Amino acid sequence: MSHADDIQALPRPNGWSDRISYAMVSWLTDVGAVSIDAVTAVGSIAIFALRTGSWLLTRLPRKETLLPNFYQVGVRSLPVVALTGTFIGMVLAVQSYSQFAGLGLQTRLGGVINITLVTELGPVLAGTMLAGRVGSAMAAELGTMRVTEQIDALSSMGANPYHYLVVPRLLACLCLIPALTVVANFMGVVGGAYYSIVHLGIDTFHYWHNSQSFVGNYDLFTGLFKSLFFGGAIALLGCHRGFHCDPGAEGVGRAATQAFVYSFVVIIVMDLFLGIALINIYDMIWPEESALI
Amino acid sequence: MSTPARDLPLIDIEGLCVRFGSHQVLRDIDLRVPRGQTLAVIGESGCGKTVLMKSIIGLVSPERGMVRFDGQDISQLGDKELTRQRVRFGFVFQGAALFDSMTVAQNVAFPLRQHSPKTAAEVQEIVLARLAEVGLPPTILQKKPAELSGGMRKRVGLARALSLEPEVILYDEPTTGLDPIMSDVINELIIRTRDHRPVTSIVVTHDMRTATKVADRVVMLYPLSRLTPHEPQILYDGPPERMESSSDARVTQFLKGEAGVRLEEIQAGEVD
């Protein structure tokens, strides 16, 4: 019997004080159940990640298993990442122009657009696109394999499902998300520059000159470094949801949706904490430069 | 004096209990399967037949008890040793469980590519031989599982299970969803496989025709929800021809396929 059933089994309250105690116990039970579910879910993902990690270090998957995953994650994601990157760059130019023009700082637009892209929007955009296009597809594919016993079939034939199914997908995401981030960054920079220079009439020389002074190598590194964590989270959450999929079409659909939603939330949360950590590391390594800023 | 290994049962199940959350599926199952025997496990849907078979190969972990295969407790094996033991099994899944993304040839070749050092040409030769053994032409080699009929998928599943020449073949509902003729083809293939190879077979089925035709021994399981706490879950264990004379009415009821008291329960709304 679950905790909720225990509560249901209690006699219904009569007086006000009874009703309040009943509501309190009921609320505490719900909070407890949610907490237990959350801890169980985190533990399950942690065990899943550890098992995948141990298989990743044991031996690499074969070329014929790796390449289709690299193709799916890298080549098939390229157009959508490039397209969204271009438009985000242009949107940034549109939204920032009036504010900067009001202060007479429109030539600084390039710097603001490009630093935003390389440190934040490029990696987050590539991660979001990958979570939507690849993470949910992984959950749906592995979920279907789970409900049609294909994962059991793999195990019964002495092939480890973590090694055969999860490790190639994790490697594909880890290796290719930095490349996709570079594409999103580049196309965003091009899109922003095109709109600023051609449509808003900002001087080309000053636009690029300011961009150069705003964006450093560490900013580029920050974006690419964060993207590695996003890629790992997308692959692990997508595969985990697929492996723990409920039976039936509804279960597969739910697993795909959860894979995207969980990945997106984790990307945003990690973006904040990694951003803070990387700024602190910068301050520690180059304290005099951060003091100037 | 120690017992020679060949005299020990190949599969030895002792006090096996399996539970999923609050739902207990198997309780105190004791079963010994000697080498070369063809055992049919029968019982109504949800009685734990498939769970029992998956426990034998370590796909389901027991709550209590143990499954010994060739003297080794399956649940105590590490990943590598479990893989080594699993290669000695062939598993024919209910829905065949062929890999959607692979062709028929790649499906049948999969265990060979994973575990044998054979060249591509040798693998191709074995694939053709296994498909011929189950009566499938080489023209289907490049087809995807979705392009095959149910009977063909089951036969490809059997060909895949045979590819590493296993010592034990586990058949999960091999004739479910097939027409009577294709069911008989599958039954004949099970018999032919047993006759041509030194295999031990376990066939999980609720098709009495399959059980009586292919098995040397039948074990009948009963759903725990319909048993009292001290009743054994195995209602019958013996040769198929003696099932009819069983003193347990539930065995003869299953054998004849009579709804009996169950229909009254359904009408009274007691069965979900």
- Among the listed residues A77, A95, A83, A109, the one whose alpha carbon sits nearest the alpha carbon of residue A191: A83
pLDDT tens sequence across B163-177: 999 999 999 999 888
pLDDT tens sequence across B113-134: 988 888 999 999 999 999 998 8
The rounded distance, in Å, linking the Cα atoms of A20 and A32 is 18
| pLDDT level of residue B156 (50, 70, 90 thresholds) | very high
Residues of A in contact with B97 (CB under 8 A): 148-150, 152-153
The token duo for A22 is 């009943």
Per-residue pLDDT at B269 exceeds 80 = no
Per-residue pLDDT averaged across A229-254, rounded?
Answer: 95
Question: Do A19 and A151 sit in the same domain of this protein?
Answer: no
Question: Do A115 and A205 sit in the same domain of this protein?
Answer: yes
pLDDT tens sequence across A154-176: 999 989 999 999 999 999 999 99
Question: Do A214 and A245 sit in the same domain of this protein?
Answer: yes
| pLDDT level of residue A191 (50, 70, 90 thresholds) | very high
Q: What is the dihedral of CA A162, A163, A166, A168, to 10 degrees?
A: 180
Residues of B in contact with A160 (CB under 8 A): 79, 83
* Domain's final residue, options A36, A58, A80: A58
| pLDDT level of residue B25 (50, 70, 90 thresholds) | very high
Question: Do A33 and A77 sit in the same domain of this protein?
Answer: no
* Residue among A1, A150, A160 whose CB faces B97 most closely: A150
As a whole number, the mean pLDDT across chain A is 91
The rounded distance, in Å, linking the Cα atoms of A3 and A32 is 9
The rounded distance, in Å, linking the Cα atoms of B220 and B82 is 28
Per-residue pLDDT at A92 exceeds 80 = yes
Residues of B in contact with A143 (CB under 8 A): none
Question: Do A148 and A221 sit in the same domain of this protein?
Answer: yes
Q: Quick one: pLDDT at residue A13?
A: 64
pLDDT tens sequence across A57-79: 988 888 988 999 999 999 999 99
Question: Do A153 and A210 sit in the same domain of this protein?
Answer: yes
Please count the structural domains in chain A: 2
Contact of B87 with chain A, judged by CB distance below 8 Å, is answered with yes
Say what the pTM is: 0.85
Q: Quick one: pLDDT at residue A17?
A: 82
* Domain's final residue, options A37, A58, A79: A58
Residues of A in contact with B57 (CB under 8 A): 156
Q: Does the ipTM exceed 0.90?
A: no
Question: Do A86 and A226 sit in the same domain of this protein?
Answer: yes
Per-residue pLDDT at A89 exceeds 50 = yes
Question: Do A68 and A28 sit in the same domain of this protein?
Answer: no
Per-residue pLDDT averaged across A191-219, rounded?
Answer: 91
Strand partners, B92: B171
Question: Do A232 and A185 sit in the same domain of this protein?
Answer: yes
Q: Quick one: pLDDT at residue B181?
A: 87
Question: Do A136 and A49 sit in the same domain of this protein?
Answer: no
Q: Exposed, middle or buried by CB within 10 Å (0-12, 13-18, 19+), for B61?
A: exposed
Contact of B61 with chain A, judged by CB distance below 8 Å, is answered with no
Identify the closest residue of chain A to B161 by CA–CA distance: A157
Full domain range(s) for residue A20: 1-58
| Strand arrangement, sheet containing B217-221 | B89-92, B168-172, B200-204, B38-42, B217-221, B234-238
The rounded distance, in Å, linking the Cα atoms of A103 and A207 is 16
* Domain's final residue, options A42, A58, A74: A58
Per-residue pLDDT at B30 exceeds 80 = yes
As a whole number, the mean pLDDT across chain B is 89
Query: Are A153 and B115 inside 8 Å of each other by CB?
Result: no
Q: What is the dihedral of CA A83, A85, A89, A92, to 10 degrees?
A: 110
Per-residue pLDDT at B91 exceeds 70 = yes
Q: Quick one: pLDDT at residue A172?
A: 96
Q: What is the dihedral of CA A29, A33, A36, A42, to 10 degrees?
A: -150
Identify the closest residue of chain A to B53 by CA–CA distance: A156
Question: Do A116 and A199 sit in the same domain of this protein?
Answer: yes
Query: Are B110 and A157 inside 8 Å of each other by CB?
Result: yes
Q: Choose the mutation target among B61, B88, B93, B108 for the interface with A, i.e. most A CBs under 10 Å.
A: B93
Per-residue pLDDT averaged across A244-265, rounded?
Answer: 94
Q: Quick one: pLDDT at residue A232?
A: 97
The rounded distance, in Å, linking the Cα atoms of A157 and B203 is 18
Q: Strands B72-73, B89-92: parallel, antiparallel or unpaired by DSSP?
A: unpaired
Q: Quick one: pLDDT at residue A210?
A: 86
Identify the closest residue of chain A to B56 by CA–CA distance: A156
Our CA-based measurement puts residue B8 at a distance from the nearest CA of chain A, in whole angstroms, of 24
Residues of B in contact with A1 (CB under 8 A): 22
Q: Quick one: pLDDT at residue A150?
A: 95
Question: Do A200 and A176 sit in the same domain of this protein?
Answer: yes
Per-residue pLDDT averaged across B204-210, rounded?
Answer: 90
Q: Quick one: pLDDT at residue B2?
A: 46
Query: Are A158 and B94 inside 8 Å of each other by CB?
Result: no
Per-residue pLDDT at A107 exceeds 90 = no
Higher pLDDT, residue A61 or A233: A233
H/E stretch holding B1? none
Q: Quick one: pLDDT at residue A11?
A: 62
